[in-house]
Structure 1
Amino acid sequence: MRRQLAVLALLSFCVAVLTSAFPSFAYGSPADIRRRIGETRTEIRELERVLAALEQAIRTRAAHVSQLERELRNTEAGLTRLRGEVSAARSRFDEANRVFAGRLRSVYMQGSLSYLELLLGAASLGDLVVRWTYLRRILQHDSGVIDAVQREQSLLRERALTLESETQRMHALRQQRDAERRNLLAQEREKRAVLAAAQGRLAVDLALITPQAERRPVYGVILDNAPQARPQHGLANAAMVYEYEVEGRITRYLALFSSFPAKIGPVRSVRSHSAMLALEHGVHLVYAGGGLDVLDRIRGWEVQGTDALRSQSNSFSRDGSRRAPHNLYVNLATLDLHSPSTQMVIRPAYLGRQGAQGLRIELEYSPDYRITYQFVEEKGAYRRHINGQVHRCAAGTVIYARNVIIQYARHGTDLLRRPTPDLVGEGDIDFYALGEHFRGRWKKESTNSPTRFYFLDGQEIERVYGQTWIQIVRAR
């Protein structure tokens, strides 16, 4: 237990050091951080008391179990001895009964001659003395036989009662021992659960305030977001997700992956702006066809990609439980076009400044499609909702965003009258992270250049680690 408490204390120390080393915060205000650290320290002290009490109870119960085991062994040895004594007493009783039964049988066989008749039938005084002597010996013998039978019968009854009592006591001891063992195991499980819960909470707190390394994404997949396509596969595994408007006021996703999930989709067609975003991130774009004008642009921009409708790879498949075109999926684990990136980016756990409170975000792409993000303090992230329902991927995992950027852009239409945001230039943003809200600007100088996000004072925004959602919406 000392080692486990030392680990907990070390985690608490790390929390304190890291929070004091950074003036910004993991979530909430600096006062919240100090409060949580104080609560963590108080919890560890309370946990030490709880664990000490549990350890003492376990030791006491273990000693009681050992005592019961000794009593059981002694009782079982006593029972073995008693069984031997009862067996010997039964043998003596049987022998006495046999002798007594033989005497009764002899009397019966010789008839009903009384002792008085035997004495009166003496021929002389000497014969009378002899008869009296033998008669007295017979009476003494018969009395001894009867006494022996009664004595052995009483002893046998006493030993049988003792044996029954000790047997019942042994059964009671066994039941008590088994109950104590169950209680002991339950207390040990409780101790492990208390430790695991405390370690889990401290690990979460420590993770929230510790910078983390993230791999650069290598794949980008266009995902369908029509109602028939939900729930999608793979969204919870994406490093970054763009959401943008398409025809019919529905939306589509561009999800960037640094890991290789076995099922992602449904895969849908590419747009020029999603191809441009894939280009700026340097990812391999996976899509399912597109307009001829868009495909020409992709070739002109030299965007690396795979058209699922033209590919012969077995990594693409249709899900028979859904109807086309909402049933095409890709297995990045077997697509085997790229290896995981060796390029790592260290993302901070803290923001570099304090913003306004931003616990809830509401967006509306159409009256039938509303998005809400609700900040969850213990996660340090925003839980995503669609039309009031918690957003989950097909595996049931809840979608959480650590960073949310609302990027406002002018929207035009392409040759086929499809909504097309103009992503080259600059515009406004709303940036949300760790329960804080900031206004800012975005800038993109050319098709190939990265989009950069800035606070209003011109300092570039450094996103905290974890999944980022960028909502591209019409300019205000």
Structure 2
Amino acid sequence: MKKKLVFLFIVCCLTLISCGIPIKPKEDTTTKKEELPTLNVTNNIQNEQSQVNSSLYTGEQLSKEEMTNLPFMAIIENSSSARPQSGLSEADLVYETMAEGGIPRFFALFQKNSPQKIGPIRSIRPYFISIAQEYSLPFAHCGGSNEALNSIKDNTSIKSINEIVNSSYFWRDTKRKAPHNLYTSSDKIRKFILDKNLQSNGASFLRFDDKFWDNPPLQTANEVSLKLNISYTTSYIYKNNKYIKNMDGKESFDANNNTPLAFTNIVVQKTPVKLQEDKLHLDITLVGSGDGYIFSKGKVKKIKWNKKSAESPTEIIDEQGNKLSLAKGNTIWHIIDKNIEPSFK
């Protein structure tokens, strides 16, 4: 009987071998297995996350909560009666240019921070609409010039948040006199964006690279001054890696928190600025090309700017045609007449 069982076992083994099914040998536990190379998945994920979580407007790393903040812009008055303004110290990017009567006006962009008081809010102009379209963002304002309001009416892609027809998203501060007392907040504007189902994904042509500004050959610029007309001068002093803003000889600060207005970068864009036929409103050329400056980390670089069409981004290059980057941080962007020259030392 035992002989028959042994014979059957041998037959089965021969059958399996003939069918191509190998018999697995016993593993040699004395031999160390070969270790295959592995990818550092964690580091790759972190690198991808760091790129994804970089602010479009400052180049800085944002928290998950900050990344979910809907970006928007707001027109903020800059007459002497409007100072100190609220919210400017928390803006990622602030444009400053002239409006009527030689009075400057700010156009501020917010994402990272969420100030609970922003203003005073004032009216829109066509050149501010062009800037908002460049970033593809909604903007808060109160009325505007006829030209600007007609553009908003005729172009549904313009994301206007006009207080005149949306007053519940704004309020008047009784401690200030009209028209210098209209305010809004990040919460109210973001609620409007959600209520009206506006797109606020944002876009940006800005580039950021700290290494460029560590280049020793760049000319020093620790003090910058812009005399923009007979009634308004603004200047900056570089201190603690920021340019501290002064207006008409007085240090500027935010009414919300008494924080000085301070910026990592100052961009100066020179372009034709002309009075319209009504001798009141301005035409500011934003399509075309011109000269300018970037001030950052106590240094200065001459620039050229180009904008091919109303829909295209503004390109910042050096005199050799190389694209330029800002240092990581907030920026104030001056748009001034081509005949004005900033002084610095």
Q: Structure 1 length as normaliser, TM-score?
A: 0.52
Q: Distance in 2 between matches of 1:316 and 1:295?
A: 19
Counterpart of 1:14 in structure 2 is: none
Match of 1:402 among 264, 289, 293: 264
Q: Is 1:248 equivalent to 2:101 in the alignment?
A: yes
Q: How many residue pairs end up in the alignment?
A: 263
- Equivalent runs, 1:110-121 vs 2, <5 Å: none
Question: How far off its partner does 1:341 sit?
Answer: 5.7
State how far apart, in whole Å, the 1-side matches of 2:235 and 2:167 are. Answer: 39
Equivalent position of 2:129 in the other structure: 275
Residue 310 in structure 1 maps to residue 165 in structure 2: yes
Q: Does 1:385 align with 2:246?
A: yes
Residue type at the aligned position of 1:251: P
> In the TM superposition, what is the alpha-carbon distance from 1:285 to its structure 2 partner?
1.0
Contact persistence 1:250–1:365 (CA under 8 A): no
Amino acid at match of 1:238: A
Secondary structure class of the residue paired with 1:306: strand
Question: How far apart are 1:348 and its partner, in Å?
Answer: 3.4
CA distance in 2, matches of 1:349, 1:405: 15
Structure 2 residue matching 1:213: 3-state secondary structure? coil
CA-atom RMSD in angstroms: 2.2
1:469 equivalent to 2:332? Answer: yes
Taking the aligned partners of 1:380 and 1:312, their CA distance within structure 2 comes to: 40
Instruction: Say if 1:266 and 1:326, in contact at 8 Å, map to a contact too.
Output: yes
Note the C-alpha offset of 1:297.
Answer: 1.6
Q: Deviations over 1:410-446 (max 9, x none)?
A: 0123353312211110100111000111111111111
Question: Does the C-alpha gap of structure 1 residues 420 and 349 become closer, same or farther in structure 2, counting only changes over 3 Å?
Answer: same
Contact 1:212 1:349 in 2 (8 A): no
Structure 1 position 392, deviation (Å): 0.4
More strand by share: 2
Q: 1:432 aligns with which of 295, 309, 321?
A: 295
Aligned to 2:276: 414
Contact 2:125/2:147, CA 8 A, preserved across alignment: no
How does 1:303-382 map onto structure 2 within 5 Å?
Answer: 303-313=158-168, 315-335=169-189, 336-338=191-193, 347-351=208-212, 353=215, 354-376=217-239, 379-382=240-243
Shift of 1:338: 3.9
Provide the rounded CA distance (Å) in 1 between the counterparts of 2:322 and 2:172. 46
Instruction: Please state whether the residue corresponding to 2:151 is helix, strand or coil.
Output: helix
Give the Cα separation in 1 of the matches to 2:306 and 2:202: 28
1:123-178 Cα offsets, whole Å, 9 max, x none, are xxxxxxxxxxxxxxxxxxxxxxxxxxxxxxxxxxxxxxxxxxxxxxxxxxxxxxxx
Q: Which residue identity is paired with 1:373?
A: Y
In structure 2, distance between residues paired with 1:338 and 1:293 = 24
Residue 316 of structure 2 is matched in structure 1 by 453
Identity of aligned residues (%): 26
Q: Is the Cα contact below 8 Å between 2:264 and 2:327 reproduced in 1? A: yes
Deviations 1:61-83, CA, capped at 9 Å, x for gaps: xxxxxxxxxxxxxxxxxxxxxxx
Matched, 1:265 2:119: yes
Residue by residue over 1:386-405, the C-alpha shift from the partner in whole angstroms, topping out at 9 and shown as x without a partner, is 12211101121111110101
Structure 2 partner of 1:186: none
Residue identity opposite 2:305 in structure 1: W
CA distance in 2, matches of 1:300, 1:415: 23
Q: Which runs of 5+ in 2 are unaligned?
A: 1-58, 195-199, 340-345
The alpha carbon displacement at 1:236 in A equals 0.4
Please state whether the residue corresponding to 2:228 is helix, strand or coil: strand
* Residues 89 and 254, structure 2, Cα contact 8 Å, conserved in 1: yes
Cα distance change of structure 1 residues 359 and 264 upon mapping to structure 2, 3 Å threshold: same
Residue 28 of structure 2 is matched in structure 1 by none
| Among 59, 80, 96, the residue aligned to 1:227 | 80
Report the equivalent of 1:182.
Answer: none
1:342 deviation in Å? 9.2
| Structure 1 residues not aligned, in runs of 5+ | 1-210
Structure ranking higher on relative contact order (CA contacts 8 Å, 6+ apart): 2
Report how far residue 241 of structure 1 moved: 0.6
How far is the alpha carbon of 1:367 from its aligned partner? 2.6
Residue of 296, 301, 311 corresponding to 2:150: 296
Flag the structure with higher helix content.
1
* Whole-angstrom distance in 1 between the partners of 2:74 and 2:129: 10
